[in-house]
Amino acid sequence: MYKDAEITIQEKYMLLKPILDEQSRRLWAATEAKSLGHGGISVVSRVTGLSRTTIHQGIKNLFESDYLSPEKVGRIRSSGGGRKPITETDSTVLNDLEQLVEPSTRGDPESPLRWTCKSVRQLAAALQEQGHAIERQKVAHLLAELGYSLQANNKTKEGKQHPDRDAQFHFICARVAQLQRRKQPVISVDTKKKELVGDFINKGREWCPKGKPESVRVYDFVDKEKGKVNPYGVYDQTADKGWVSVGTDHDTAEFAVETIRRWWNKMGRNAYPKAKELLITADCGGSNGYRVRLWKIALQNLSTETGLKISVCHFPPGTSKWNKIEHRMFSHISMNWRGKPLISHEVIVNLIGSTTTKNGLNIMVELDTNKYEKGIKITDEELQNINLFTNDFHGEWNYYITPKCST
């Protein structure tokens, strides 16, 4: 209905914008909105980028009998005048908002966007209870600044939800905050999806000379010589730094813990010289699943070797995308190598190692060519010999392992 009008208004605005001051811009926008009738304010706001509040104020000014009087015409707000951003007048609002959404934030390994299950109305009400003067529209703006977006419909269904799902999210968030206050290391771990090595198609697009896309194989049959790789990652939630071991053999619990060991020896030990405890947040399945006995045996060996008390918190079933490593590290790796065929181990290592973000993410990466045997059985007796202690709240998900004394 307003499509032609939008184009016309936008063209007029672009022509007049260089010579319009704040006052005349507001009044011109108000006049255009009034001429369109119902819905005009939204149309003008959309095509000019001016806020609806500004246009409403302009309409109000048009009907004020003394506003356009000779003594007021030409009076323009001085440079730096006007309402200050809420982040300047309320220094804690952004941090408090992030604390509210942190327990219920998730992402996608293929996208850097984040989502939260809480509505802006709920968040605005919670912030108001904390003493912040803020409305839902401003909450939406601040969420966008923090990198959040509206969640698409096809990302909402995660299957049957565990009744203590949200309670576990809050438990994990509290444990992370507790250790960070004590300056103890907190890491998020997971295996990125397996990748074929060779001239295979890689999702996404990359800039190339026009009409000369890179040629890849038609069929994705595994190259017997190059095989697949299993990138297992460790993300330091406090330092915004990561480690990735690119495994060439099986994705087992021993491989997962070996990756954590390498991170500790080459990054963690130097970053946390006074560390006494290590907190790991992980999915509930895969090589680091809470039911995997070998995972706990391997963690016991690491605990004894490093002298660290190793605490583990697993995300509930069906919530793997809420793990921090997904949207704070893996997503950026996927973006960095999109459209690039992973033709060799060297290319994969270099692409992961060159992944950075404007916030300072830095990733160290190493090829792991060790062999990891599948199907290792752990007896009940071996499991009982682990120094494993469970939490009162869902001990199967929340537990810690202490070092064994040498005999």
Supply the DSSP string of 17-50, one letter for each residue: GGG--HHHHHHHHHHHHHHH-TTHHHHHHHHH--
The C-alpha atoms of residue 50 and residue 23 are separated, in whole angstroms, by 12
CA angle (301, 306, 312) in 5-degree steps: 65
pLDDT of residue 103: 67
Q: Which residue intervals of 69-214 are DSSP H helices? A: 86-89, 93-101, 120-129, 136-145, 165-181
Radius of gyration of the chain (CA): 27
Instruction: Give the other-Cβ count within 10 Å of 286's Cβ.
Output: 18
Q: What is the pLDDT of residue 154?
A: 45
Strand partners, 400: 311, 389
pTM here is 0.67
- The rounded distance, in Å, linking the Cα atoms of 143 and 150 is 10
Beta strands 241-247; 105-108: pairing state = unpaired
Decide the pairing of beta strands 241-247 and 362-368: parallel
pLDDT (0 to 100) of residue 78: 59
Of 170, 222, 224, 165, residue with least CA distance to 196: 222
- Reported in sequence order, the residue ranges of 309-396 that DSSP labels E, i.e. its strands, are 309-314, 362-368, 388-390
* Cα atoms in the Cβ-side hemisphere of radius 13 Å centred on 270: 6
Q: Could you tell me the two tokens for 152?
A: 């698409």
Res 21: pLDDT: 85
Per-residue model confidence (pLDDT) at position 107: 62
**Per-10-residue mean pLDDT for the chain, 407 residues long?**
74 86 88 88 88 88 68 56 76 82 64 65 85 86 77 52 88 94 96 85 64 65 83 96 96 97 97 96 94 97 97 91 88 84 90 90 95 94 95 96 83
